[in-house]
Amino acid sequence: MTIAFESLAERLQQTMQKIKGKGKVSEADVKEMAREVRLALLEADVNFKVVKQFVNRVKERAVGQEVMKSLTPGQQVIKVVNEELTALMGSEESKIETAPKPPTVIMMVGLQGAGKTTTTAKLANYLRKKKNRTPMLVAADIYRPAAIDQLNTLGKQLDMPVYSEGTDVSPVDIVKRGVEKAKEEHHDTVILDTAGRLHVDENLMDELKEMKASVNPDEILLVVDAMTGQDAVNVAEQFNELLEISGVVLTKLDGDTRGGAALSIRAVTEKPIKFAGMGEKIDQLEPFHPERMASRILGMGDVLSLIEKAQTNVDEEKAKELEAKLRNADLTFDDFLEQIDQVKSMGPLEDLLGMLPGANKMKGMKNMQVDDSQIGKVEAIVRSMTKQEKNEPKIINASRKRRIAKGSGTTVQDVNKLLKQFEDMKKMMKQMTSQMGGKAGKRKGKGGMQFPFMK
């Protein structure tokens, strides 16, 4: 199972070694590559039928291609795969419809435990914050124990009204009166939380159809757990056929699943995946980025997501700059300080690293915890460096070390430790980011990598 999580980039690299130097990608080469692509996608939980179609398309495109000078054959296949995958994933569409006559009605549907109730609250929060809307929530799950309490609690956290009528009233009536109430109170958006149900449960699916008929939602969002396996196609197909969904929300993407279900759902419904759930808290909802999902499914690391997260409030230009630095590993201590500030404001480092599939495989990553007192020390040391020292740590000799230690109220050992860890970190960044470009060669057996502020 450990090899299962080798990235496609690495696998193709190995398969491809053989055909390096040949002028053309032959049919036999392609067959071998196709097998690797197929395995990688199946391991990522992409539905096997979808995989089949996909691999055939890649095969067609790859056979007979000239091997480009600038790319290895392996990289060339990755390029084709990535392009095809990105095309299949579609473009970014995190728009939520607006009703010509308010309120806009959004209905959340899906299997049990997928994350509908949580996403209802997250979406309301998102729409209020980013789109200036004034949402009201409606508790239409009368079946699950304490479902209404759950939504009420979330409503309180958000300071947002929740409409409910208890559990003895038909959900069809609840949503009808809920929407009326929203209209009366001039809410421009109303989000309906419905009970989880199996796609094959006829009675409960009929109930959803009735709800749809009675309030005519502007959006019907299917909420799907990103860890779903082969069954995702059945679920998506059925919900879409019976309700004609308008989009999908993929939840629990903060986990380490490859999330191939995303591809399966796109392929069978052709509906956009609009949002991604990135945690349990109400602000952990993000617009879905199809191109990033493509590289995640292939296991090539979501470096872009990581960078964006680190740069939420910084402009695009800076994000690109940092990415380039990460790639080339010419990170300086100034970037590093900036990062520490961000790490502090971003919350758990483990969340960030979770986004890099390679990271959780590395030794030492597992026991990572940020130690605040260590961060303080690190900051002090870096602040005691001169500009030149920060940019060129190599020049820090023994006497400079003593000066820095003194200036920061630390010891020379502390300074040494930080310098060493900083070098290690640069190396690791280089390893991780190089996976993106498919250049991941054999990983150096360096093992346990420690951020300077880890315990």
Partner 1 sequence: MSFFKKLKDRVTNQTDSVTTKFKDGLQKTRDSFSEKMNTLAAKYRTVDEDFFEELEELLISADVGVNTVMELVDELREIAKLENVKNSADILPVISEKLTEKLDFTGDDSKLSMNADGMTVILFVGVNGVGKTTTIGKLAHHFKEQDKKVVLAAGDTFRAGAIEQLGVWGDRVGVDVIKQAEGSDPAAVMYDAIHAAKSRSADVLLCDTAGRLQNKVNLMKELEKVKRVIQREVPSAPHEVLLVLDATTGQNAMAQAKQFKEATDVSGIVLTKLDGTAKGGIVLAIRNELDIPVKFVGLGEKVDDLQPFDAEQFTYGLFQTLAEEK
Ligand X SMILES: Nc1nc2c(ncn2[C@@H]2O[C@H](COP(=O)(O)OP(=O)(O)OP(=O)(O)O)[C@@H](O)[C@H]2O)c(=O)[nH]1
The nearer residue to partner 1, 29 or 141, going by C-beta atoms, is 141
Tell me which of 58, 77, 114, 205 binds ligand X, using CB under 6 A.
114
Residues binding partner 1: what is the number (CB under 8 A)? 61
In angstroms, give the least distance from the CB of 131 to ligand X: 20
Question: Residue 81: enclosing H or E segment and its boundaries?
Answer: helix 73-89
What is the pattern of x (binds partner 1, CB under 8 A) and - over residues 261-300? x------------------x--------------------
Give the closest residue to 82 by CA, choosing from 142, 8, 6: 8
112 part of the interface to ligand X, by CB under 6 A: yes
Q: How many residues bind ligand X (CB under 6 A)?
A: 22
CB of 151 to Mg ion, least distance (A): 8
Least Å from the CB of residue 166 to ligand X: 16
With vertex at residue 418, the alpha carbon angle to CA 414 and CA 423, rounded to the nearest 5 degrees, is 150
Report, in Å, the least distance between residue 152 CB and ligand X: 13
Of 165 and 335, the one with the shorter C-beta distance to ligand X is 165
Give 219's strand partners.
Answer: 106
Range 363-372 contact pairs with CB under 8 angstroms and sequence separation of 24 or more: 363/447, 363/448, 363/449, 364/447, 364/448, 364/449, 364/450, 365/449, 367/455, 368/451, 368/454, 369/454, 369/455, 370/343, 370/451, 370/453, 370/454, 371/453, 371/454, 371/455
Which of 28, 169, 200, 412 touches partner 1 by CB under 8 A?
200
Question: What is the identity of the amino acid at 377?
Answer: K
**By Cβ distance, which residue is nearest to Mg ion?**
117
Choice between 299 and 438, CB closer to partner 1: 299
Considering the complex, what minimum distance in angstroms separates the CB of residue 256 from ligand X? 11
Within residues 208-227, the interface with partner 1 by CB under 8 A covers 225, 227
278 binds, among Mg ion, ligand X, partner 1, none (CB under 5 to 8 A by kind): ligand X
Work out how close the CB of 192 gets to partner 1 at its nearest, in angstroms, rounded to a whole number: 17
| In contact, 408 and 417? CB cutoff 8 Å | no
Contact 338, 313 (CB under 8 A): no
Applying CB under 5 A, the residues found at the interface with Mg ion are 116-117
CB atoms within 10 A of CB 203: 7
Among 277, 301, 358, 438, binds ligand X (CB under 6 A): 277
113 binding ligand X? (CB under 6 A): yes
* 8 A C-beta contact, residue 345 and residue 330: no
Distance (Å, rounded) from C-alpha 273 to C-alpha 322? 28
Taking CB under 6 A as the rule, does residue 116 contact ligand X?
Answer: yes
Side-chain half-sphere CA neighbours of 360 within 13 A: 20
Enumerate residues 6+ apart whose C-beta is below 8 A from 208.
Answer: 107, 109, 194, 197, 242, 243
Which residues are paired to 140 by β-bridges?
A: 194
Per-residue binding string, ligand X, 189-208, x by CB under 6 A, is ------xx-x----------
The stretches of 280-411 forming alpha helices (DSSP H) are 290-297, 303-310, 316-328, 333-346, 349-354, 372-383, 387-391, 398-408
Residue 278 contacts ligand X per CB under 6 A: yes
297 touches, from partner 1, ligand X, Mg ion, none (C-beta below 5 to 8 Å by class): none
Question: What residues line the site for ligand X (CB under 6 A)?
Answer: 110, 112-118, 141, 144, 147, 195-196, 198, 223, 251-252, 254, 277-280
* Contacting positions for partner 1 (CB under 8 A): 1, 3-4, 39, 42-45, 47-48, 52, 111-115, 117-118, 121, 143-147, 149-154, 157, 198-200, 225, 227-232, 234-235, 252, 254-258, 260-261, 280, 348, 350-351, 354, 360, 366-369
